[in-house]
Amino acid sequence: MEDCMGSRSHLPRKETQTKMIEVTKINGTKLLLNTNLIETVEETPDTVITLTDGKKVIVKESRHEVKNLVKLTRQEYFRGILNAEAE
């Protein structure tokens, strides 16, 4: 959906938004993560999220909770795209 100059300005706002989830680090700090950058989620027993750049984040949420957050966020994202195309 980019033109030859790489412009995405003609896309509906929802399509250009990043898919983010909110998780809680072990120290209680809230963190937004881009779901496209998540490579793996492991329970060791703490939940460790490994990003595509190799960085690791230990969070309070279970592996199952992280999976569900990613799933719901992506469903909302694609639902927004389909609704924008239908208009």
Tens digit of each residue's pLDDT (9 = 90 or more) over 3-39: 444 444 444 444 445 689 999 999 999 999 999 999 9
Q: Which domain holds residue 28?
A: 18-86
Rounded Cα distance between 23 and 42, Å, is 14
The answer as to whether 7 is a domain residue is no
The answer as to whether 13 is a domain residue is no
How many domains are contained in the chain?
A: 1
**Residue 42: predicted pLDDT:** 98
Rounded Cα distance between 24 and 63, Å, is 13
Q: What are phi and psi of 86, to 5 degrees?
A: -75, -20
The answer as to whether 2 is a domain residue is no
The answer as to whether 6 is a domain residue is no
Rounded Cα distance between 9 and 11, Å, is 6
- Report if pTM > 0.85: no
The answer as to whether 5 is a domain residue is no
The answer as to whether 71 is a domain residue is yes
The answer as to whether 72 is a domain residue is yes
Please list the residues that pair with 50 across neighbouring strands.
40, 56
The four Cα atoms 44, 46, 51, 52 give a dihedral, to 10 degrees, of 0
**Residue 9: predicted pLDDT:** 44
Tell me: the pLDDT tens digits for 57-77? 999 999 999 999 999 998 888
CATH number at residue 57: 2.30.29
Q: What are phi and psi of 36, to 5 degrees?
A: -70, -20
